Structure 1
Amino acid sequence: MIKVASYNIRKGVGTDRIRSPDRILHVLHEIDADIIALQEADRRFGRRAAILPPHHLADHSPWKAVPFGNEQSSGWHGNVLLVRKEAEILDCEAIHLPTLEPRGAVMADLRVNGIAVRVVGMHLDLSGLMRRRQAESILAHLDSAARRLPTVMMGDLNEWTRRSGCLKDFAERFTIAATGPSFHARRPVGRLDRIMASPELRIADCGVHHSPASRTASDHLPIWARVEPS
């Protein structure tokens, strides 16, 4: 069994407009997932420095960031994958997405709790047409991989509809976890954040993480799921 989670941390800025990486880390400890996909995890301008830099994770958490070759950021266009320090990183790469603004996705092959799994973290566009093009690009990238693995995809899809748009494209090949609404954190009505699993995996449980800290740390609530080989 592997517990995964996805969390748009809004560059560490909470609903009280205070930037607090420590508060984000506190929420991550509450969730206690094996694999975490973060979105908006670096600053937007300048060096795009990581909100949770590697030394901070090393000293204050059980996780490490999957390296994607960026010295300042922990990920790619704000997308970061965190895994437990004892997990084995088999491979990783950034995925370039068609876009009118800086967007991307990240992919890693991991061995966690004795299970080999491929994980994709993403933050899709605000435009519905562009989201569908990005979904097509991610699925094509998976198809082009030389090795096939059970796959979990998760992130902020920016999709307000329940079954159409890019969700329709993903649902043809992946099971979408019924986690519930995660946006806005103070009064969640939108299911913008999603976790999806390939047919080789079963979603045993899932939900939205509600706590006093999570309702303040970002404008999104974290979502989570437990997956196991089917």
Structure 2
Amino acid sequence: MRLATFNILHGRSLGDGRVDLDRFREAVRALDADILALQEVDRDQPRSHGADLTAVAAEAMGATDHRFVATMHGEPGVWSAATGDHQPARSSYGIALLTRLPVLSWQDLALPALRGRAPVQFPGARLPALVRDEARAAVAAVVSTPDGPLTVAATHLTFIPGWNVVQLRRLVRGLRDRPRPLVLLGDLNIDPRRATQASGMRSLARAATFPLQSPQRQLDHILGDGAVEAVDGGASFDLGISDHRALAVDVRVSPGSPR
């Protein structure tokens, strides 16, 4: 099966600054993923034509089930933290998990938020900026594969250094009772070495994903725990939208692979 994760920048292209829903559909189709994690997903936002981008992606990939989890409500500039509803009835923004495989169960997980502002050194800036992070969450599904259950979790961690590691460790603890094998997908905003160290999981895909045009860093990850193996090393893809490349890998679930 093919696993993929994609920070979609609400479907916007850096080339023309537009959100084109047909272009977004084609990007999702090109990935041809059986399980897809999306980050920076809009629902009912004017900037993305009021579309439910999760539903658009689900139709494009032929997903049989999907789940959107709102992390923020309202429109950009007047965000408020989401209440935890996974399908709120107003404009929202968050993460999504989509699958062509049957889902046995779902789980939403809130991640700890850093209170107050924190200094972050952005590329090209002379001095650190004090920033306030948005709410963060994860969504997990136990799916049925021909070789048995597989737990798949998706998330988008903070860009604030150090706090993303705290969130990753909390997420791993929150998933400890989920069936193995387990795969974690998403924009973790940390490098591969720290991602594997903090999670205790193996990297299933290694490829630079950011920035889009000339990627130098891997911020997006597909990590595995238990009897799941990568068939190849994975690859990143410029799909014509976002400031990230998508990351995908073909895997197999088989008894006896490393935990």
TM-score bucket (shorter structure): 0.7 to 0.9
Alignment RMSD = 2.6
Q: 3-state SS of the aligned residue for 1:82?
A: strand
- Matched-pair contact (CA < 8 Å) for 1:31–1:209: no
Q: Which residue of 1 aligns with 2:72?
A: none
1:70 aligns with 2:87: yes
User: Matched residues in 1 for 2:211 and 2:234: separation?
Assistant: 15
1:93 alignment partner AA: Q
2:35 alignment partner AA: I
Higher RCO by CA contacts (8 Å cutoff, separation 6 or greater): 1
What's the offset of the Cα at 1:25?
1.8
**1:136 and 1:113, CA in 2 relative to 1: closer, same or farther beyond 3 A?**
same
- Within 5 Å, which residues of 2 pair with 1:20-169? 20-42=20-42, 51-54=52-55, 56-57=56-57, 60-67=60-67, 69-72=86-89, 78-84=94-100, 87-100=101-114, 101-113=134-146, 115-143=148-176, 145=177, 147-159=178-190, 161-164=191-194, 166-169=195-198
1:133 alignment partner AA: V
Unaligned 5+ runs, structure 2: 69-85, 115-133
User: Matched residues in 2 for 1:197 and 1:158: separation?
Assistant: 17
What's the offset of the Cα at 1:136?
1.4
What's the offset of the Cα at 1:128?
2.0
User: Matched residues in 2 for 1:226 and 1:219: separation?
Assistant: 23
**1:60 and 1:162, CA in 2 relative to 1: closer, same or farther beyond 3 A?**
closer
TM-score, normalised with respect to structure 1: 0.82
User: Matched residues in 1 for 2:214 and 2:44: separation?
Assistant: 26
What's the offset of the Cα at 1:62?
0.9
1:168 alignment partner AA: Q
Q: Which digits, 9 at most, give the CA deviation of each residue in 1:12-43, with x for residues without a partner? A: 11112111232122112111110000011125
User: Matched residues in 2 for 1:200 and 1:124: separation?
Assistant: 25
Q: Which residue of 2 aligns with 1:225?
A: 249
**1:190 and 1:72, CA in 2 relative to 1: closer, same or farther beyond 3 A?**
farther
**1:103 and 1:77, CA in 2 relative to 1: closer, same or farther beyond 3 A?**
farther
Q: Which residue of 2 aligns with 1:196?
A: 223
User: Matched residues in 2 for 1:23 and 1:51: separation?
Assistant: 15
1:152 alignment partner AA: V
Q: Which residue of 2 aligns with 1:13?
A: 12
Unaligned 5+ runs, structure 1: none
What's the offset of the Cα at 1:113?
4.5
1:8 alignment partner AA: N
What's the offset of the Cα at 1:95?
0.7
Identity %: 28
- Matched-pair contact (CA < 8 Å) for 1:11–1:43: no
What's the offset of the Cα at 1:93?
1.6
User: Matched residues in 1 for 2:98 and 2:180: separation?
Assistant: 19
- Matched-pair contact (CA < 8 Å) for 1:10–1:39: yes
1:21 alignment partner AA: L
- Matched-pair contact (CA < 8 Å) for 2:2–2:248: yes
Runs of 4+ in structure 1 deviating by more than 6 angstroms, as ranges, are none
